[in-house]
Structure 1
Amino acid sequence: MHKYITYRRVSTAEQGKSGLGLAAQNRDLYTYLTHYSGQPYEVIAEFVDILSGSDDNREELEKAIELAKKEKAILLVAKLDRLSRKVAFIASLMEDKKLQFKVACLPQADKFQLHLYAALAEQERDFISQRTIAALKEAKARGVKLGGLRDKTLKRNKVKKDNSVARAKALEPLIKPLRQQGMSYSAIARVLESTKAKTASGSTRWHSKQVARYLDILGLTKVPSLLLSSRRIQNETDVSIT
C-alpha cells in the first residue's frame, strides 16, 4: 500500500488563476495518483495553506512534513513552486533522509532534475519581483498614488525580514563553523536542538529547512570548495589503497 499526504498552497490572489487554484492542483494530484502511483494507494491526510509563496511561516506544510515522516508516507504536491521557489528550501527537503516527496506535474523527475526546476523557479520569483518594482515605478511616474494596505504589507514584511536576519546573525557563530565543516542541514538542526537554541516560535525543535533558511540569509548554503576538494582527494586515496 502506497501512502500519500497531499499539500496544496494558494494565495488569495492566485485562487482564480488557471493552473494555480486549489481545483487545478486537485486535478494534478488526481492525475498523478491514478496514472503514476503504484497501486494500491491511500491518501491518509490533506493539508492546505492559503498564503503567499514568499511567506516562510507555513504551519500546514510543517504539519504535512512531520506526518509524512512519522507515517513513512509520500508528501505529494501538484507543482514544485507550491513547496517553495527557493533552491535552499527544496535542497533541505532533499537532504532529509526521512522524507519522501513527489511532484505531480513532474512524475518521473529525479533529485537532480528537481534541483534544476527549483533553480528556475527561484529565477522566476526574482524576475516577478523586479517586474513588480518596475511597474510600481512607472505607476508612480504617471502620478498614481501608491499606499494604503500595500504600505502596511511592505512594512510588515520588512519587520519579518529584519527579524529573520537578526536571528540568523545571532546563530552565525554556531552554525557557520558547522557548515564550513561540511555538516548537512539536518545535522546542524540536531546540534541546535542539543544546545536548546530556540526557533522564531520559541520551540527547541529544529528542522533542516529552518537551518537552510538561516544559512541562505547568511550566504552559507554552499559547502566550501576547499572542503569538497579535500573530500575528493580522500576518496581518490581510499580507492588507490584498495
Structure 2
Amino acid sequence: MNSQYVAYLRVSTHKQGLSGLGLEAQREIIRNHLHDTNPIAEFVEVESGRKSERPKLKEALTLCRKEDATLIVAKLDRLARSVSFLSGLLESDVEIVFCDFPQANKMVLHIISAISQYEAELIAARTKASLQAKKSRGFRLGNPEHLLNKHRQAIQNSINTCKAKADSNPNNKRAVAMLRTLVKENHSYKEMAEILNNEGFVSSKGCAFTKSTVYKLIKRYGLL
C-alpha cells in the first residue's frame, strides 16, 4: 500500500460541520487511522452525497495519480451514496481506503454502497410521505397566499405596536390634552402648531410641531 495519502472530506451543508459527521470528526478519524501521520493534502467538499459533481474530489484524484498516493476517506458514505458513482471510483486507477472499513474489497464496497443508496431513498420517501400527510390534513405547503397572509399580519402587528407606543408616549398625551382646547377655539392647524411650540410642547420624537403632526394627532385621537 502507498505510504502517502490524500484526504477527502465531505459535508452536505455548512451546518453539518457541527454534527457527528462534521469536518473535525472526519479529520480525527483519518488521523487515528494513520497513527498521527498527516496526509500530504486535504480536500474539503460541500456537496450532497447523491450528486456526482465533485470538483474537489476530482482535484484529490488528480493529485493521487501525480504523487502515487492513496485517497483516504473517513467513512464510506462521505464519498458517495450512489452505487453508479461509487462503482466508477472503485474501477479507477486510484487506490481508496475507507477508515471505517479498511479491509473491504471492491465487491463488499459495492454491496455497502447499494445499502447506503437504499437508505437515502428511504429517507426521501419518508420525507415525501410526511409532506403528503400534512397536505391531506389541510396544511398548505409553500402556498403563496398563506405566506402573503402571514406577511400582512406581520405588517398589521407592526402598525399596532407603533400605534400603542404613540398612544402611551407622554409628549403625545400632553399635546393631545392641549389640542382638545385649541380645537374648540377653532384655530387653524398652523396656529395650533405655533401655540404648542411657543408653550414648549414637543412631539413624540422630541421635535417641534408642524401643521402635519398636529393634523395627524387630531385625526388619530378623533378630536374633530
Output the TM-score relative to the length of structure 1.
0.54
SS of corresponding position for 1:14: helix
Is the 1:84–1:90 contact (alpha carbons within 8 Å) kept by the matching residues of 2? yes
Give the whole-Å Cα distance in 2 for the aligned partners of 1:32 and 1:117.
Answer: 20
Task: Establish whether residue 117 from structure 1 lines up as the match of residue 119 from structure 2.
Answer: no
The CA deviation at 1:103 is 0.3
Residue by residue, what CA displacement relative to the aligned partner does 1:22-45 show, whole Å, maximum 9, x if unpaired? 12111211121118xxxxx55111
Q: Which residue of 1 aligns with 2:122?
A: 127
Aligned identity (percent) is: 40
The CA deviation at 1:91 is 1.3
The CA deviation at 1:112 is 1.8
What pairs up with 1:81-160 in 2 under 5 angstroms?
A: 81-96=77-92, 98-147=93-142
Q: Which residue of 2 aligns with 1:50?
A: 46
Rg: which structure is higher? Answer: 2
The CA deviation at 1:16 is 2.9
Unaligned runs of 5+ in 2: 144-224
The CA deviation at 1:142 is 3.1
The CA deviation at 1:100 is 0.5
Residue by residue, what CA displacement relative to the aligned partner does 1:9-64 show, whole Å, maximum 9, x if unpaired? 1022533332x1112111211121118xxxxx551110001122222221111111
SS of corresponding position for 2:103: coil
- 2:35 maps to a residue whose letter is T
What pairs up with 1:173-192 in 2 under 5 angstroms?
A: none
What pairs up with 1:48-87 in 2 under 5 angstroms?
A: 48-87=44-83
Q: Which residue of 1 aligns with 2:220?
A: none
SS of corresponding position for 1:135: helix
SS of corresponding position for 1:43: coil
Q: Which residue of 2 aligns with 1:15?
A: 17
Is the 1:32–1:107 contact (alpha carbons within 8 Å) kept by the matching residues of 2? no
Give the whole-Å Cα distance in 2 for the aligned partners of 1:16 and 1:137.
Answer: 30
With CA pairs under 8 Å and 6+ residues apart, which has the higher RCO, 1 or 2? 1
Give the whole-Å Cα distance in 1 for the aligned partners of 2:108 and 2:32.
Answer: 20
Give the whole-Å Cα distance in 2 for the aligned partners of 1:31 and 1:147.
Answer: 46
Residue by residue, what CA displacement relative to the aligned partner does 1:71-105 show, whole Å, maximum 9, x if unpaired? 11000111111111111111111211x21110011
C-alpha RMSD of the superposition? 1.9
